């Protein structure tokens, strides 16, 4: 217990959440992690709720420390977001995800987009649009095969410049999705400001839906709202056949979750694609 107290003191008195690590130190750690291939991406399939047809993959970051410990993205992404490391991590993620998706196109799957989580802090970078377009050019990925998942909490404090960046990305043909919909503060205001093509319902609602009438009502209302605005709607965290049946009854478009598949490694994606193409 004593050790914990000491660790906590360090965590609050030093850099981005880690004892004794300054922001510059964390940028270096992320750079090393990239060089040593401690960072990787896994890809979780998404499918049409009604037909089960594959509609894309979400890229999720993984960090395996040299001793084998997995550092969860819920830990290292917020740490990176506290300083400049998010720009390095974000650019690596975009480039790696786009390179993977360009490989799927070359392997004969032209219509399988990759969704990449974009941190709000990346929108503060005035060079973001050019970076993204540069990565598309470099990897040869068509703009329509890239989706960016934006969290609405992130948009709350958003400056006009950030909105302008999103308009430019959308104008270039990149598709925008509002992630974790319903968990933030500004959902409806954000919808009017940002040119998104789909809403993603957070797993907390999806997983409560079968047991809890309020959660079910929220899922139905979000589907209705999305469709009234001519937007698509994706449900995440779908684990059971019952949840899938509810989503089908509610006319939700796309699902993602362990019911369909856990996030897959690059090899796992190849196997998944090969199996799917037979269906």
Q: Residue 81 interacts with Ca ion (CB under 5 A)?
A: no
Interacting residue with Ca ion among 81, 152, 202, 253 (CB under 5 A): 202
Q: How many helices (H) and strands (E) does the chain have?
A: 12, 9
In the bound complex, what is the minimum distance in angstroms from residue 151's beta carbon to Ca ion? 5
| Interacting residues with Ca ion between 117 and 176 (CB under 5 A) | 117, 149
Of the candidates 243, 115, 86, 256, the one whose C-alpha atom is nearest the C-alpha of residue 178 is: 115
From ligand C2E, Ca ion, none, which one binds at residue 263 (CB under 5 to 8 Å depending on kind)? ligand C2E
| C-alpha 121: how far from chain center | 14
φ, ψ for residue 171 (rounded to 5)?
A: -65, -30
Q: Residue 179 interacts with ligand C2E (CB under 6 A)?
A: yes
Q: Residue 180 interacts with ligand C2E (CB under 6 A)?
A: yes
Point out which span in 45-53, 73-81, 105-113, 154-162 binds ligand C2E (CB under 6 A). 73-81
Q: How many residues bind ligand C2E (CB under 6 A)?
A: 20
| Dihedral of alpha carbons 155, 158, 163, 165, sign | negative
Q: Are 114 and 144 in contact (CB under 8 A)?
A: no
Q: How many CB atoms lie within 10 A of CB 78?
A: 13
Q: Residue 96 interacts with ligand C2E (CB under 6 A)?
A: no
DSSP 8-state secondary structure symbol assigned to residue 175: E
Q: Residue 91 interacts with Ca ion (CB under 5 A)?
A: no
Q: Residue 119 interacts with ligand C2E (CB under 6 A)?
A: yes
CA atoms within 13 A on the CB side of 279: 10
In the bound complex, what is the minimum distance in angstroms from residue 163's beta carbon to ligand C2E? 19
Cα 43 to Cα 56: distance, rounded to the nearest angstrom: 9
- Return residues touching ligand C2E (CB under 6 A): 44, 60-61, 72-74, 77, 93, 117, 119, 179-180, 203, 236-239, 257-258, 263
Interaction site with Ca ion (CB under 5 A): 117, 149, 179-180, 202
């Amino acid at each position: 217990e004593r050790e914990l107290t000491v660790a906590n003191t360090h965590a609050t008195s030093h850099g981005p959440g880690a004892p004794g690590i300054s922001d510059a130190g964390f940028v270096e750690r992320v750079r090393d992690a990239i060089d040593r291939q401690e960072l990787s991406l896994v890809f979780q399939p998404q499918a049409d709720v009604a037909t089960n047809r594959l509609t894309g993959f979400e890229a999720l970051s993984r960090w395996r420390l040299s001793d084998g410990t997995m550092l969860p993205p819920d830990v290292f992404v917020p740490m990176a977001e506290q300083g400049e490391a998010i720009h390095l991590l974000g650019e690596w993620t975009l480039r790696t995800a786009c390179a993977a998706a360009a490989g799927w196109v070359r392997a004969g799957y032209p219509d399988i987009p990759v969704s990449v989580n974009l941190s709000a802090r990346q929108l503060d970078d005035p060079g973001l649009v050019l970076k993204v377009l540069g990565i598309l050019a470099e990897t040869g990925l068509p703009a329509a095969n890239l989706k960016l998942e934006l969290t609405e909490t992130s948009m709350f404090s958003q400056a006009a410049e950030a909105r302008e960046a999103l308009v430019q990305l959308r104008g270039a043909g990149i598709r925008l999705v509002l992630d974790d919909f319903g968990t933030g503060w500004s959902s409806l205001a954000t919808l009017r400001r940002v040119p998104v093509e789909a809403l993603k319902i957070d797993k907390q609602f999806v997983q409560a839906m079968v047991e809890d009438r309020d959660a079910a009502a929220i899922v139905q209302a979000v589907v209705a709202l999305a469709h009234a605005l001519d937007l698509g709607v994706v449900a995440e965290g779908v684990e059971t056949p019952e949840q899938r049946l509810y989503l089908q009854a509610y006319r939700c478009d796309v699902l993602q979750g362990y019911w369909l598949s856990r996030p897959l490694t690059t090899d796992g994606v190849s196997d998944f694609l090969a199996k799917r193409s037979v269906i």
